């Protein structure tokens, strides 16, 4: 981060955060993620989620966010004690007084007034969050390679039919779903949400709907109907959609979007053609492109964003995907089709770090060439280019040993076992999808 920015964040910390305490963080009060699917919550996304007591929430729906567990963490923060679940931030701060952790970035987004209010009120008082991410339902028509049964019913059905994937050195990923998972029908956590909503909607500033696939959830449409009845609501609404649902849902979204003043749509993809369809089982690449196009032309959107998750199977057409985005932006403007590049880390054998150096070097070379050709383009904003630059640097880094991953030779074995088993279950053949050099390498890995 540039020195100037760093200084302004340090000044903010001194002015707003430190007077409350040395461990205060606004996110613990004003931000929440709630998984109504299994009754769990977290504030923010770094700490692990914890369970919401059903009894508590049936008496008081605000306990969906204001759990006893979270209130104790808030008390610790008011007293200057560091909650252990926020270890991510403490590790950064312990590197020195000038290091800024997420605690600052996740507090600065709220107004000084709101922060003063929560700092002064009693630790066990309920709070209405300002920013919320919510999963109503895990119904999903896709089974993307790195997802799992807790987030996709298609994945869940596969595991129910064939059993858990075994011998992958990763104990918790492709296994039966959490037994606490509930369908949206008769889910008491969903009922509690709707009881809380009239009060919540008065102060909530942003809601982000995730899933499963939100467009397949009845609750998403119920929420959008609220905005149809309350067209003056200024609430920011964000939806994460795979854009692989039937056209009728896409058209309905375009219609409902007309009642929203601030709708942000997020979709995900990182490769093209049959490679993309292999990575995201259930996807039809042509349909996805048509749906993206349709929404860009017909929906009332503040932003349309594409989240890329770069993984070991996407590297063969990531650059072609970037070219597709460029062409899309050239027709709709640079603010439509904004990319963010995420580097897949879990499960680690699906990360690009598993690939042999030669394939990684080829990928890096293609990326560098693409970057040089596009760094002056008006079609990409700074942070998009910056995320490509970071990916290029990451490839250089990963050719060194990675301390927090299983050793590479083991990851290669798990990767091959996973691909073979997935092909058997889904009746596919990686040799027909990916380039020859990939097949040759994978064939050479002995398991």
Minimum CB–partner distance for residue 46 and ligand SF4 (Å): 4
Min CB(131)–ligand SF4 separation in Å: 12
Show the site string, 374-413: x = touches ligand SF4 by CB under 6 A, - = not. ----------------------------------------
The residues pairing with 264 across neighbouring beta strands, listed in sequence order, are: 238, 303
- What does the alpha-carbon distance between residue 167 and residue 162 come to, in Å, rounded to a whole number? 15
Stretch that binds ligand SF4, among 81-89, 343-351, 365-373, 424-432 (CB under 6 A): 81-89
Nearer to ligand SF4, 84 or 399 (CB): 84
Q: Applying CB under 6 A, which part among 83-91, 145-153, 345-353, 361-369 lies near ligand SF4?
A: 83-91
Alpha carbon distance 98, 264 (integer Å): 34
Q: Which is nearer to ligand SF4, 27 or 341 (CB)?
A: 27
Picking from 244, 184, 199, the residue whose alpha carbon sits closest to that of residue 61 is 199
Residue 103 is a binding residue for ligand SF4 (CB under 6 A): yes
By CB under 6 A, name the one of 106, 173, 208, 264 that touches ligand SF4.
Answer: 106
Q: Nearer Cβ to ligand SF4, position 45 or 261? A: 45
Does 102 help bind ligand SF4 (rule: CB under 6 A)? yes
**Burial (0-12, 13-18, 19+ Cβ within 10 Å), 289:** middle
Answer yes or no whether residue 129 interacts with ligand SF4 by CB under 6 A.
Answer: no
**Could you tell me how many residues of this chain bind ligand SF4 (CB under 6 A)?**
14
Among 86, 132, 215, 412, binds ligand SF4 (CB under 6 A): 86
Minimum distance, C-beta of residue 333 to ligand SF4, in the bound complex (Å): 33
Q: How far is the CB of 133 from ligand SF4 (least distance, A)?
A: 13
What's the distance, CA 77 to chain centroid?
26
- Cβ closer to ligand SF4: 108 or 445? 108
Q: How far apart are CA 367 and CA 369, in angstroms?
A: 5
Handedness of CA 90, 308, 151, 217 (dihedral sign): positive
Residue 423 tokens read as 């092909």
Neighbour-count burial for 222-239, b at 16+ CB within 10 Å, e otherwise: ebbebbeeeeebebbbbb
Minimum CB–partner distance for residue 90 and ligand SF4 (Å): 8
The smaller minimum CB distance to ligand SF4, of residues 27 and 216, is found at 27
| 265 contributes a contact to ligand SF4 by CB under 6 A | no
| Nearest residue (beta carbon) to ligand SF4 | 86
Paired tokens of 293: 């196009």
Q: Name the residue among 275, 239, 217, 293 with its Cα closest to residue 37.
A: 217
Characterize the bridge pairing of strands 280-281 and 143-144. antiparallel
Determine the interface stretch with ligand SF4 among 102-110, 197-205, 263-271, 393-401 (rule: CB under 6 A): 102-110
Q: Which helix (H) or strand (E) segment is 264 a member of?
A: strand 263-268
User: Percent helix, strand, coil in the chain (nearest 5)?
Assistant: 50, 10, 40
Query: Which of the residues 19 through 78 are near ligand SF4 (CB under 6 A)?
Result: 25, 27-28, 43-44, 46-47
- Alpha-carbon span 375 to 221, nearest angstrom: 40
Tokens of 359: 């394939």
Instruction: Tell me how far, at minimum, the Cβ of 18 lies from ligand SF4, in Å.
Output: 14
Characterize the bridge pairing of strands 50-51 and 206-210.
unpaired
The residues binding ligand SF4 (CB under 6 A) are: 25, 27-28, 43-44, 46-47, 86, 88-89, 101-103, 106
């Amino acid at each position: 981060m540039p020195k100037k920015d760093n200084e302004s964040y340090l000044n903010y910390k001194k002015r707003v955060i430190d007077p409350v305490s040395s461990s205060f963080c606004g996110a613990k009060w004003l931000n929440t993620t709630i998984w109504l699917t299994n009754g769990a919550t977290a504030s923010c996304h770094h700490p692990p989620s914890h369970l919401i007591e059903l009894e508590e929430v049936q008496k008081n729906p605000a306990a969906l966010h204001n759990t006893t567990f979270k209130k104790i963490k808030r008390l610790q923060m008011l007293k200057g004690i560091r909650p252990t679940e926020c270890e991510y931030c403490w590790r950064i701060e312990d590197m020195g007084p000038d290091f800024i952790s997420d605690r600052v970035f996740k507090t600065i987004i709220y107004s000084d007034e709101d922060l003063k209010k929560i700092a002064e009120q009693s630790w066990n008082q309920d709070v209405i969050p300002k920013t919320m991410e919510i999963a109503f339902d895990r119904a999903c028509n896709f089974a993307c390679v790195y997802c799992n049964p807790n987030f996709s019913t298609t994945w869940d059905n596969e595991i129910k039919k064939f059993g858990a994937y075994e011998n992958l050195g990763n104990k918790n990923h492709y296994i039966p779903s959490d037994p606490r998972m509930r369908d949206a029908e008769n889910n008491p956590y969903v009922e509690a949400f709707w009881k809380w909503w009239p009060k919540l909607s008065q102060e909530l500033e942003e809601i982000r709907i995730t899933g499963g696939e939100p467009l397949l959830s009845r609750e998403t449409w119920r929420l959008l109907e609220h905005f149809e009845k309350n067209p003056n609501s200024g609430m920011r609404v964000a939806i994460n959609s795979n854009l692989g649902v039937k056209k009728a849902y896409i058209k309905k979204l375009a219609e409902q979007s007309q009642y929203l003043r601030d709708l942000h749509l997020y979709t995900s993809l990182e490769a093209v053609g049959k490679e993309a369809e292999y990575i995201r089982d259930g996807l039809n690449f042509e349909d996805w492109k048509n749906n993206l196009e349709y929404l860009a032309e017909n929906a009332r959107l503040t932003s349309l964003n594409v989240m890329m998750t770069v993984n070991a199977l996407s590297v063969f057409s990531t650059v072609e995907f970037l070219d597709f985005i460029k062409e899309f932006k050239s027709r709709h403007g640079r603010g439509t089709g904004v990319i963010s590049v995420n580097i897949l880390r879990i499960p680690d054998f699906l990360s690009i770090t598993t690939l042999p150096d030669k394939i990684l070097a080829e990928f890096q070379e293609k990326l560098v060439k693409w970057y040089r050709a596009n760094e002056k383009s008006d079609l990409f904003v700074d942070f998009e280019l910056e995320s490509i630059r970071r990916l290029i640097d990451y490839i250089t880094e990963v050719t060194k040993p990675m301390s927090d991953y299983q050793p590479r030779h083991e990851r290669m074995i798990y990767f091959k076992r996973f691909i073979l088993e997935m092909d058997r279950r889904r009746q596919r053949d990686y040799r027909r999808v990916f380039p020859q050099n990939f097949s040759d390498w994978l064939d050479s890995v002995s398991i």
